[in-house]
Amino acid sequence: MDEAEIEGFREALLRLQAELRGLEKVALESTKPVELDQSRVGRLSRMDAMQGQQMALEVARRRKQQLVKIEGALRRIELGTFGDCYVCGEPIDLRRLSIDPTNTRCVGCVE
């Protein structure tokens, strides 16, 4: 893999990282505790709000997990090991990395 390809992956990872961090700030409102005052909010509305809150918490968890994977990929770029399989050390196919640049294993080692 040449320097231009690695730089392209770095830029894509940094863009994705910035996008996810921006979404993280916007989503804070969705994860606030649900008000339990029955005189103001009906039981079904509260249940719906609680379900929405749990879904927002799961999305936030997945977003944080993706951010960790992105940081790992950026660290591998800095170390010069980006694109190499963690298991066998062989290069990961560029098509696989173009779909998800945070991949750490080649197709053979995933199977």
User: Is it the case that residue 3 has pLDDT exceeding 70?
Assistant: yes
Alpha-carbon dihedral angle through residues 8, 11, 15, 16, given to the nearest 10 degrees: 60
Backbone angles phi, psi at 84, to 5 degrees: -100, 140
The rounded distance, in Å, linking the Cα atoms of 110 and 87 is 9
Residue 109 lies in a domain: no
User: Is it the case that residue 65 has pLDDT exceeding 90?
Assistant: yes
**Tens digit of each residue's pLDDT (9 = 90 or more) over 23-45:** 887 776 655 665 555 556 666 67
Please report the pLDDT score of residue 46 as a whole number.
72
Total domain count, the chain: 1
Please report the pLDDT score of residue 8 as a whole number.
95
Cβ partners under 8 Å of residue 10, min gap 6: 74, 77
Residue 104 lies in a domain: no
Mean residue pLDDT across the chain: 87
Taking the whole predicted model, whether its pTM rises above 0.75 is answered as yes
Residue 88 lies in a domain: no
Residue 9 lies in a domain: yes
Residue 53 sits in which domain range? 3-82
